[in-house]
Amino acid sequence: VLAPRDIVRLEDAGIVLLDQTLLPGARVERTCASVDELIDAIRELAIRGAPALGVAGAMGVALAAATGPDEPAALRAYVANQAGRLADARPTAVNLRWGVEQALTVVEGAWRTAPELRGRLAGLAARIHADEVARCRAMGRHGAARLADGARIVTQCNTGALATGGYGSALGVVRALHEAGRAPHVWVPETRPLLQGARLTAWELAEDGIAHTLVTDNAVGALFAEGAVDAVLVGADRIAANGDAANKIGTYPLAVLARHHDVPFYVVAPSTTIDSDTPDGAGIVVEQRARAEVAGFGGVVTAPAATPCRNDAFDVTPAALITGIVTEDGVHEAPYVFVPASA
Amino acid sequence: VLAPRDIVRLEDAGIVLLDQTLLPGARVERTCASVDELIDAIRELAIRGAPALGVAGAMGVALAAATGPDEPAALRAYVANQAGRLADARPTAVNLRWGVEQALTVVEGAWRTAPELRGRLAGLAARIHADEVARCRAMGRHGAARLADGARIVTQCNTGALATGGYGSALGVVRALHEAGRAPHVWVPETRPLLQGARLTAWELAEDGIAHTLVTDNAVGALFAEGAVDAVLVGADRIAANGDAANKIGTYPLAVLARHHDVPFYVVAPSTTIDSDTPDGAGIVVEQRARAEVAGFGGVVTAPAATPCRNDAFDVTPAALITGIVTEDGVHEAPYVFVPASA
């Protein structure tokens, strides 16, 4: 079982994270000694998952402060610049920007010396990390209450401890069922192109001894058709004010299949994933990733060189297909009206 | 452009086929000098696609006769035994058994000498091959008449020349549109686990200069959602009497997406794919393939060793989701009632 500090932590040498690109073959820690190295790690998906990126965002600002000049005005300017670049490292996950902005309110607030700022930012990052895990446990309780014993659950991508900094969002619900002896079984789609299902979700479930079966993304339809799916539980990278939810590419077809088969479809995500400034899914920017991810598989080139590829990292599931959105506050149901916390 | 004899042909040395497991990286011919070697090639998918397997089935019986004893009664018994094993090499594709049985009617008919039987079987196999390609061209015409210029088509797996012995079924419709200057664009799902979309369909389309874009299987839903799909065209490995159609795993979700988005969904398959002895999809045996296909690709292991996998080769799309079934005879529409040719 992974502890939160096994996934990501702030040390004097930098941000130490479990390199998720090397799982399940090898468990290797990677140290990011600068914001640039953290941005590289985020772009390469060495750390990924919306809630975990929120933690990384706050830690990244703390790292910027730790590596910046000691003179307060210069430090403030340096950190603000680094933070802006960090927040843009991945466009779809709202949590990354949220974590950065939480830390920036400290930077922009009252402090007098560099050590004071550095200490406060490190403390904030630790608190955000602990809060994120606590939110996961709350989501786990709320979600589990909606599911029957022995539920056969389809998920997508990885929404476990690795994605959230500890415990998990959609996979946190599975963990809550498992901890209560309620015997969930998880159908794990491998989640091309980067196979977070096969590499990360299957690994987490195997480590915890939770029943699961790996399938290709293509095979999920047949599972619905044979009546072998009781619920779909997915995470989210950004939820608009009306409940439209962006998540890993391949989530939307699961929602359509669930509706066709009258199976409940839940989005499980902390409130930090809600972007109430975006009215609906049409306003969510979907990250486009490299051709090579589609044209190959684990270093093996699979497509002709002349073949164009398209590689959307996410798709958007409309609120109308979502049975409920599970946050740490409970299970929200349609009509979804998420308003800014300040409203 | 591939000629039918480039895909599979009967020579004195055996059955020579283009090894589809090595595409697109290498274009290598493989010679099967015995029925056992042909069965291996079929199981490894060096030759695959329901119509092409029909051709291979007939050629395989001819090969059995060529390699059997000269004494007529012994030859008859030898060929019947070999043919039975060949017909069972893959359980879902009805065409393989059909091709074998066509040839067995010759074996069981009137002939006097081994050379006479061998000549007749070789002639039959050549005729079946030519007929299969002619059926593809007829399907191409019928299907193309249903589509608009510039149609944006989603397909699945490979239904091209490689799958049929020449031209193609669903991809034959695309070829017919292209030859008529009607500018189709094909969205090609890579088709895990064996990536026939990426490796074979993209290769055929690139060779012929037909516009296409490769995507992961997960990405097709987003294309529907953005209104970028005008039609779905897929093949079939077996069509039941009521129109339920077994095809490559991942086809059924495309049918559900098409229905949700009110996009036409066509099955394109020669009449040799129709199994009127099977009343509906519940009677179709779905081949289960090896765990290793799901747990990795091209020698790269992607899943933990402790993770169970399930690997259905096909799924069944119910007739109710099929807009039309295109055969060489025209476009059939619901209610589908396919009766035996002898009825």
Q: CB distance B220–A259 less than 8 Å? A: no
Give the distance from residue B271's alpha carbon to the nearest chain A alpha carbon, in angstroms.
25
Task: List CB contacts of B284: < 8 A, sequence separation 6 or more.
Answer: B92, B238, B240, B244, B246, B275, B278, B314, B316
Q: CB distance A315–B217 less than 8 Å? A: no
pLDDT at A306 over 70: yes
pLDDT at B340: 72
Q: CB distance A215–B300 less than 8 Å? A: no
Find residue A10's DSSP bridge partners. A15
Residue numbers in B near A300 (CB within 8 A): 297-300
Find residue B246's DSSP bridge partners. B238, B316
Measured between CB atoms, which of A192, A198, A286 is closest to B217? A192
Measured between CB atoms, which of B192, B221, B300 is closest to A315? B221
Beta-carbon pairs below 8 A across chains A and B: 193
Q: CB distance A307–B202 less than 8 Å? A: yes
Q: Which of A40, A70, A149, A237 is catalytic?
A: A237
Per-residue pLDDT band for B339 (boundaries 50, 70, 90) equals: confident
Q: CB distance A216–B198 less than 8 Å? A: no
Q: Which of A22, A9, A140, A4 minimizes the C-alpha distance to A62?
A: A9
Q: What is the pTM of this model?
A: 0.94
- Segment B111-127 mean pLDDT: 98
Give whole-number Cα distances, A46 to A287, A301, A340, in Å. 17, 22, 31
Q: What is the mean pLDDT of chain B?
A: 96
Per-residue pLDDT band for A297 (boundaries 50, 70, 90) equals: confident
Pairing of strands B330-332, B324-327: antiparallel
pLDDT in tens, A29-80: 999 999 999 999 999 999 999 999 999 999 999 999 999 999 999 999 999 9
Give the distance from residue A120's alpha carbon to the nearest chain B alpha carbon, in angstroms.
40
pLDDT at A92: 84
Helix, strand, coil percentages (3-state) for chain B, rounded to 5, are 45, 20, 35
Q: CB distance B190–A24 less than 8 Å? A: no
Task: List CB contacts of B21: < 8 A, sequence separation 6 or more.
Answer: B44, B45, B46
CB A308 within 8 A of CB B213: yes
Residue numbers in A near B295 (CB within 8 A): 198, 214
Residue numbers in A near B225 (CB within 8 A): 252, 315-316
pLDDT in tens, A215-230: 999 999 999 999 999 9
pLDDT at B85: 97
Q: CB distance A219–B25 less than 8 Å? A: no
CA B182 from centroid of its chain's CA atoms: 25
Per-residue pLDDT band for B92 (boundaries 50, 70, 90) equals: confident
- Segment A299-324 mean pLDDT: 96
Give the distance from residue A279's alpha carbon to the nearest chain B alpha carbon, in angstroms.
18
pLDDT at A268: 98
The stretches of B14-157 forming alpha helices (DSSP H) are 35-43, 50-67, 72-87, 94-108, 114-144
Which of the residue ranges A2-6, A91-95, B72-76 would you say has the lowest mean pLDDT?
A91-95
- Segment B164-187 mean pLDDT: 98
pLDDT at B343: 46
Give the distance from residue A75's alpha carbon to the nearest chain B alpha carbon, in angstroms.
44
pLDDT at A342 over 60: no
Residue numbers in B near A206 (CB within 8 A): 304, 306-307
CB B223 within 8 A of CB B215: yes
pLDDT at A341: 60
- Segment A286-292 mean pLDDT: 95
pLDDT at B274: 95
pLDDT at A343: 47
The predicted complex's ipTM stands at 0.94
Give whole-number Cα distances, A339 to A30, A194, A244, A336, in Å. 38, 34, 14, 10
Does residue A237 have an active-site annotation? yes
Task: Please report how many Cα atoms fall inside a 13 Å half-sphere around the Cα of residue B185, on the Cβ side.
Answer: 12
Q: Closest chain A residue to B286 measured between Cα atoms?
A: A222
Tell me the C-alpha distance between B43 and A234, whole Å. Answer: 36
Angle at the Cα of A161 (from A155 to A165), degrees rounded to 5?
130
